[in-house]
Amino acid sequence: MKALVDTATGRQSSSASIDRKSAPVFVLGCPRSGTTALYHMLLSAGNFAVYRAESHVFNILAPRFGHMRSLQDREELMQHWLRSKLFRVSGLDAEAIREKVIADCRNGGDFLRTVMEAIARHQGVERWADCTPEHLLYIPEIKREIPQALIIHIIRDGRDVALSYVKQGWTYPMPWDAREHLGVAGLYWEWIVRRGRQYGMSLGEHYREVRFEDLVSQPRETLARLSEFVGQDLDYDQIQRAGIGSVREPNSSFADELGAQFNPVARWKTKMTGEEVAGFERLCGGFLKELGYPLASAFLGQRDLRRWRMRTTYFAMFAGKQWSKTRTPLGKLVHMGPLQISR
């Protein structure tokens, strides 16, 4: 399996020449694909601002607060953000950052850059990174508002992603698909990864893909290849010594497995029944094959009615929800639970 994919085909970014040594890095991917693990490796390598939170700027803050266009939007944003975990872990002075955001920010990219650059200055480092998984759906907005951004898309076997989703209780099948939790999780995995890859293809040398399985099984080699992309040595030994966050304590849905024998790769082989594997691969086997993941069942690209109905229905539902959130006033109603706002 190829560990690092250069998708330099397609149109080149309008800002093809950037200073990689100082550029912000976005570690994105379908949730439960290893974004936090790779993000904490970057932080452990040094010279990145240590911010132990997902920013949720493009997927929550921007739609919820009118993309920060008006003074009222920015004031309301700061009223909520300053009471959130996202501020509490920043180490910033509340009044100083409030004044800066209200005066200078006109969109989500401005806000994220302003906050993260302030954190970097406070910590005496030169650059910053972001690891909000759902920002994968906002790559065009990120590159438009933060042209210097480098995008790393981490991809994991959808069968393991689906297992983790079900373990977390994050799947919401339709009532008539109540037994299809793994399948619905797999369809979301396929939908968001496809969307992220489509966006990434337009970025040329500013976009890279890395496989979670390679990061686990060949960390030195994988990080060495990423070093050139981010313009900084990602020394594996230094990363292990610093051991920030999940580098030392894996962020796993299967905490009962943590220990010397912990292995998050191909967990589906022991956690899924043969029937579950066949059902999953019937729905998403084509995309698994496209990504180079071997199949365990006799998937032949069957075109049965149930498969067609589920793929059509759920892909349309995922796309419709995203469109409503980003293109209509319904974005104002986005759930802010991940911000952990105090009363």
Q: What is the pLDDT of residues 208-243, one digit of tens each?
A: 999 999 999 999 999 999 999 999 999 999 999 999
26: closest CA among 107, 133, 156? 133
In a domain, 86, yes or no: no
Range of the domain at 238: 24-48+127-329
Query: Residue 151 CB: number of other CB atoms within 10 A?
Result: 24
Residue 15 has pLDDT above 90, yes or no: no
**Averaged pLDDT for residues 55-75:** 97
* pTM: predicted TM-score of the whole model, two decimal places: 0.89
| Model pLDDT, residue 246 | 82
Residue 45 has pLDDT above 90, yes or no: yes
CA distance 280 to 12: 36
264: closest CA among 189, 187, 211? 211
- Note the pLDDT tens digit of each residue in 165-179: 998 888 888 899 888
In a domain, 117, yes or no: no
CA distance 281 to 277: 6
In a domain, 218, yes or no: yes
In a domain, 224, yes or no: yes
In a domain, 93, yes or no: no
CATH number where 135 lies: 3.40.50.300
Place of tokens 């893909």: 209
In a domain, 133, yes or no: yes
Q: Which residues lie closer than 8 Å to 300 by C-beta, 6 or more apart?
A: none
| Model pLDDT, residue 299 | 62
How many structural domains compose the chain?
1
137: closest CA among 339, 284, 325, 316? 325
Q: What are phi and psi of 213, to 5 degrees?
A: -60, -35
Return the percentage of the chain with pLDDT > 70, whole number: 90
- Note the pLDDT tens digit of each residue in 96-119: 999 999 999 999 999 999 999 999
- Note the pLDDT tens digit of each residue in 253-271: 445 554 556 678 889 999 9
Residue 12 has pLDDT above 70, yes or no: no
**Averaged pLDDT for residues 152-175:** 92
158: closest CA among 7, 289, 250? 289
Residue 200 has pLDDT above 50, yes or no: yes
Query: Residue 168 CB: number of other CB atoms within 10 A?
Result: 12
111: closest CA among 44, 60, 152? 60
In a domain, 299, yes or no: yes
In a domain, 231, yes or no: yes
